[in-house]
Amino acid sequence: MSVDQATLDSLLAGAFGATVVIDLSNDRILGASAEAQALLRQAPLAGHRFSTFVHGHLGQLIVFVDEVLHRGMAWTRRIQVTPRDGEALDCEINGKVAALDRGAALVLQITDLAELDSRAEAARVARLYGGGLHEWQRAQSFFSELEQQNQLILNAAGEGIYGVNADGKTTFVNRAAQEMLGWTADDLLGQDIHSKIHHHHLDGELYPSQECPIYQSFRFEEVNRIEDEVFWRKDGKPIRVEYVSTPIYEGKVLAGAVVIFRDITERWENEQKLREALEEVAALRDKLEQENAYLQEAINIERAHHDIIGQSPSIREILARIEMVSRTNANVLITGESGTGKAMVATAIHADSDRRRRPLIHFKCASVNPDMIESELFGHVRGAFTAALRDKPGKLELAHGGTLFLDEFADIPLEQQGMLLEALQSRRVTRMGDTRPRELDLRVVASTSRNLEREVQAGRVRQDLMFFLNVFPIQCTPLRERIDDIPPLTVHLLKLACKRLGIPVPVITEGIIRTLQRYDWPGNVRELANVIERAAIVSRGDKLRVDIRSVGAPAVRGAATLLTEAEVDQIRTANTIACLRETGGKVSGPGGAAELLGIRPTTLYSRIRKLGLQAEG
């Protein structure tokens, strides 16, 4: 190796970066570092003319070389270096002179400025990165501490708390929520929580998320407080919850919602039990009311209940018919004048029937104000009309399972007759003001003292109702047509009266019986009972003394004095008018016309109505 080559090698070995050594005498490159060969894309570089890499800036190179020779060293950025088959590069060139045996040589160190910039940037990023990493670690530990504190607070809360982001995905869930829902944080975090816990209503109806108040919280920026809904547990069971969902913000941007909920299942169950208990109490109260009403009815019936007394063919016929019909469910229509025992027959039918353990409801159609008939028959709910202060069952309902006795049914106004028929046929009744129909299972026994055919013709009784009721007719005979029954009836009624009055039973003579049998008895058995009671009082435990004239004009029996029906009606009318004059128009109560005539006030009222007379009270 020549001395020059050794110097050259040591020059290049000590060089940094792309370095070329150029022979100043002929512009040829004597040697180059590997970096220089890479930069100028020419390997080897030795032997090539350096000026071929700086064409375009040859003048600047000559000036620069002069400066290096003059000063021993110099640098420039005004020379672009163009690699072989490449584009010109902005470079910084440092030059110095090296002494070789063959003469002075130029040593150029070439730095690609673009690469220098990218290295500087990398260094800056590296510097930043180094510093940033530190900052990041500090922030992370700060946030994790914060989060730990938050988690501690959230987990200590007794309420279930969870957060959702604006996509409805769970962002956090506290321990209480996990315990109440049975879902773990792993199950829920990042998941669509609505579809996990809020997907259906309790009744099984789908719960679309757009209808969910929690979603609405962050859609419409509103706080929603819901008092009774369900969340679904992981095991598929619902829990009743109340919750508040509040929108949350990151800066000023709506980020989602936080939901705080409480399991109210136990509270709800207790409330439910309370509700049920109250309903039960109400039902019991209703039942008690019904029982009361029934007992009241039963007492009334009991008071009026006597054995049917008589041996006459007509009474035997009645008893036979009662026996025949009582075991069936057929409707019965009892006809006959007032006081002939129609109510007794109805009671006997019920008492002999399979329904005897259930109520016999006696509805006296003639004694109820027509305006009240509807509510009395069908019942009402509170507020159905002004006076309806509480729920009340009607007679039809009260008779459920038993027998309904419609006494003087022809007195029911036409409109209510239609409603009654409808209820009886459909076996359902709806209370006034109510919408709920109630089942009916009852047997109807109806009575009338009117001539039904005439009533139907006159349009006062619906024919269809008459047919419905008149499945099995029983005719009660007036007392005057069965005078054979007067002796046993007198004995029976006297015993009853004396027991009631607390006096000994007077003796009944044959003469008295004959007197009683001669009388016409327009008021029938009720009139007979009145006469006997009065007689018992005046007899004072001795012989029974009857003053038949005290009860009305005696009917002298016999063919010569027979009267026509019209004549009887005339006499009855005149008698009624006279009686009303006597009492000053007073119908019922002590000293009233009904008492004087020995008939029931309701009977007298309907007679007065029929005659078009005025009565008092």
Ligand X SMILES: Nc1ncnc2c1ncn2[C@@H]1O[C@H](COP(=O)(O)OP(=O)(O)OP(=O)(O)O)[C@@H](O)[C@H]1O
310 forms part of the interface with ligand X (CB under 6 A)? yes
Which residues, 6+ apart, have CB-to-CB distance to 433 below 8 Å?
Answer: 380, 381, 382, 383, 384, 385, 388
478 forms part of the interface with ligand X (CB under 6 A)? no
d(CA 124, CA 243): 53
d(CA 576, CA 610): 12
- Spell out, one character per residue from 487 to 506, where the chain touches ligand X: x when CB under 6 A holds, - when not: --x--x--------------
449 forms part of the interface with ligand X (CB under 6 A)? yes
Is residue 51 a contact partner of residue 58, using CB atoms and an 8 Å limit? yes
In the list 48, 57, 321, 342, the residue contacting ligand X (rule: CB under 6 A) is 342
d(CA 270, CA 200): 24
Shortest reach from residue 606's CB to ligand X, in Å: 10
CA distance between the termini of the chain: 159
Closest to ligand X by CB, 171 or 331: 331
In the list 169, 196, 306, 557, the residue contacting ligand X (rule: CB under 6 A) is 306
Amino acid at the residue 252: K
Is residue 18 a contact partner of residue 39, using CB atoms and an 8 Å limit? yes
600 forms part of the interface with ligand X (CB under 6 A)? yes
**Which residues are paired to 104 by β-bridges?**
99
In the list 37, 171, 224, 340, the residue contacting ligand X (rule: CB under 6 A) is 340
Amino acid at the residue 561: T
Closest to 419 in 3D by CA, of 376, 355, 459, 458? 376
Which residues, 6+ apart, have CB-to-CB distance to 480 below 8 Å?
Answer: 520, 521, 555
Which residues 146-185 are close enough to bind ligand X by CB under 6 A? Answer: none
336 forms part of the interface with ligand X (CB under 6 A)? yes
Inter-CA distances, 497 with 52, 453, 491, 591, Å: 158, 38, 10, 19
Which residues, 6+ apart, have CB-to-CB distance to 204 below 8 Å?
Answer: none
Closest to ligand X by CB, 181 or 365: 365
Closest to ligand X by CB, 240 or 482: 482
d(CA 362, CA 519): 31
Closest to ligand X by CB, 430 or 449: 449
Binding segment for ligand X (CB under 6 A), chosen from 228-236, 289-297, 307-315, 321-329, is 307-315
380 forms part of the interface with ligand X (CB under 6 A)? no
- Spell out, one character per residue from 520 to 559, where the chain touches ligand X: x when CB under 6 A holds, - when not: -----xx--x------------------------------
Is residue 18 a contact partner of residue 36, using CB atoms and an 8 Å limit? yes
Shortest reach from residue 338's CB to ligand X, in Å: 4
Shortest reach from residue 602's CB to ligand X, in Å: 7
Which residues 392-421 are close enough to bind ligand X by CB under 6 A? Answer: 407
Inter-CA distances, 128 with 134, 139, 278, 503, 535, Å: 10, 16, 75, 127, 131
Binding segment for ligand X (CB under 6 A), chosen from 33-41, 333-341, 424-432, 532-540, is 333-341
Binding segment for ligand X (CB under 6 A), chosen from 165-173, 180-188, 286-294, 342-350, is 342-350
Shortest reach from residue 409's CB to ligand X, in Å: 12
516 forms part of the interface with ligand X (CB under 6 A)? no
Would you tell me how many other CB atoms lie within 10 Å of the CB of residue 339? Answer: 25
304 forms part of the interface with ligand X (CB under 6 A)? yes
Residues that bind ligand X (CB under 6 A): 304, 306, 308-310, 315, 336, 338-344, 407, 449, 476, 489, 492, 525-526, 529, 600, 603
